[in-house]
Amino acid sequence: MPNPADIYERIVNAKVYIDKNLDEALDLGCIARQANFSPYHFHRLFTNIYHKTPHQYLTYKRLQKAKELLEKEGISITEVCNTVGFESLGSFSTLFKKDSGDAPLYYRNIAYLKKKLAKEQPKRFIPHCFVETYNL
């Protein structure tokens, strides 16, 4: 019988596998094989450790990566969707809006405006206590 440290290490390795392969079509069986567990057993262990199902974690990580990519210029929303592993632009947009509260295009526009304002008026983005302490 494997010890708890070994089990935890195997689950963490599967999580790292998810992190490194966000753009791939990952299913529970594929991820469970990385930890050498049955899908059911892996799902239960992963959920107990991370308080999210493997699918919820995968979706969360994909959406976080999408936010990073949307803040960059020169990459379309469709490219972002495909880069982070979503197969459907519609499901990506729906999940993105549910997670962040904004549609991907709106999120991108707000990020662009924040960057522009940070360049034009940098003091607006520095905490007031810091400005007063250092007389900026």
Digit-coded pLDDT (tens) for 111-133: 999 888 888 887 777 777 776 77
In a domain, 119, yes or no: yes
Whether residues 42 and 78 fall in one domain: no
Whether residues 73 and 130 fall in one domain: yes
The pTM assigned to this predicted structure is: 0.82
pLDDT digits (tens, 9 = 90+) for 55-93: 999 999 999 999 999 998 788 999 999 999 998 999 999
Domain, as residue range, for 42: 1-51
Whether residues 36 and 92 fall in one domain: no
Whether residues 6 and 28 fall in one domain: yes
**Contacts for 35-43 with beta carbons within 8 Å, 24 or more apart?**
35/10, 35/11, 36/10, 37/10, 42/11, 42/14
